[in-house]
Amino acid sequence: MKKLILHTLKEKQGYVSGEELSNSLGVSRTAVWKHINELRKEGYIIESSSKKGYRLTGLPDILDGREVSVPDGQQIGRELVHFADIDSTNNYAKKIGNDGCPHGTVVTAERQTLGRGRVGRLWQSDNSRGLWFSIVLRPDLEPEKVQIITLAASVAVVEGIIEVLDINCGIKWPNDIILGSCKLGGILTELSAEPGHVNYVVVGIGLNINQDSGDFDQELQDKAASLKLFTGKTHSRAKILSGILKSFEKIYTMLLAGETRQIIDKWNKYSVTVGKEVRIISREVEYIGTAQSVALDGKLVVKCKDGTLREVSSGEVQVRGLMGYARD
């Protein structure tokens, strides 16, 4: 009933009388009033006037199915699991991935106590000012081709933000979302596979939305961006998440259709890596070169000083001029 009342108030975009609500939904006016109060407790701002009735004027920024909406027929985000607190949405997504959850299930959390980056690094996500979520995918791809999913996910994030806010972000290979010269977000892709077969992939996305600079740990203060720091305004996480899930569905469909070239072309359009001087730091070596392109399997092609080309599949890539890399 509460859902129906909310739906009616959203549709009307103006006052609806208590009588109209009680008649159309077949409940008493006292029942309507009770549900309205419950909605208010959940953060919906509903004005009331004895003559005109009720009017919805503000939505809470909650990340469950009430405010995060996906178009009919969309698979990504059709199932949403939301937590107030969790260790890591990727951990939970892997658990339900193992248990057989449907393709496209999305796990969100207000706060993570153990948000993870790559190779055991920490991801600061101890407050509800960002978007911390994971998507479970069941792609029919060979395990070697999964790296391209991280690139596709970065494109989905950038295009989702353009769609909702008309703000242009960049992508730093392989998994950073950049705004200005700082890190706005990151992607952690994890895989469960057997030889030749992918069981599931978890794409974990962390995106800073409404943080002020004091919300970041000391060591991140010069490196981290948030959409609020960039625009000076607070943004709806639910709307941004809905936009990203929609663009994710689009790019994932391209991936399954074998349109890898088109995905790389999109990625190149947003890349802040290609054409720049990069410092590659892997377990074995460290060198400086120029990022040339991204290969169809998602590897970064780097031209070294001596003219040789090297393909980088993992390790740390620093891009000159970004997040503190200045050449000494």
- Contact between 154 and ligand BT5 (CB under 6 A)? no
- Contact between 175 and ligand BT5 (CB under 6 A)? yes
Question: 220-226 contacts: CB < 8 A, separation 24 or more?
Answer: 220/124, 222/182, 222/324, 223/182, 223/183, 223/323, 223/324, 224/124, 224/182, 224/183, 224/184, 225/178, 225/179, 225/180, 225/182, 225/183, 225/184, 226/129, 226/130, 226/184
Q: Which is nearer to ligand BT5, 6 or 208 (CB)?
A: 208
CA separation for the pair 137, 236 (Å, rounded): 25
- Contact between 188 and ligand BT5 (CB under 6 A)? yes
176: how many CB neighbours lie within 10 A of its CB?
22
Q: Which is nearer to ligand BT5, 189 or 247 (CB)?
A: 189
- Contact between 162 and ligand BT5 (CB under 6 A)? no
CA separation for the pair 162, 288 (Å, rounded): 32
CB of 111 to ligand BT5, least distance (A): 11
CA separation for the pair 51, 220 (Å, rounded): 53
Contact criterion met (CB below 8 Å) for 142 and 293: no
Indicate the residue whose CB is closest to ligand BT5: 186
- Contact between 187 and ligand BT5 (CB under 6 A)? yes
- Known binding site: residues? 88-90, 112, 116-118, 183
- Known binding site for biotin: residues? 88-90, 112, 116-118, 183
Contact criterion met (CB below 8 Å) for 23 and 14: no
Per-residue mark of binding to ligand BT5, 192-231 (x: CB under 6 A): ------------xxx-x-----------x--xx-------
Which range touches ligand BT5 (CB under 6 A), out of 70-78, 112-120, 232-240, 275-283?
112-120
- Contact between 111 and ligand BT5 (CB under 6 A)? no
Give the residue carrying structure tokens 């057989």: 100
Which range touches ligand BT5 (CB under 6 A), out of 16-24, 94-102, 113-121, 150-158?
113-121
Please give the residues from 257 up to 276 whose contact with ligand BT5 meets the rule CB under 6 A. none
Sign (positive/negative) of CA torsion 285, 289, 295, 298?
positive
Q: What interhelical angle do 260-270 and 237-256 show, nearest 10?
A: 140
- Contact between 117 and ligand BT5 (CB under 6 A)? yes
Q: Which is nearer to ligand BT5, 9 or 136 (CB)?
A: 136
Indicate which single residue of 18, 104, 115, 298 sits in contact with ligand BT5 (rule: CB under 6 A).
115
Q: Per-residue DSSP letters for 115-141?
A: -B-GGG-B----STTEEEEEEEE----
- Contact between 92 and ligand BT5 (CB under 6 A)? no
Q: Which residues contact ligand BT5 (rule: CB under 6 A)?
A: 88-90, 112, 115-118, 121, 123-125, 132-134, 175-176, 183, 186-188, 204-206, 208, 220, 223-224
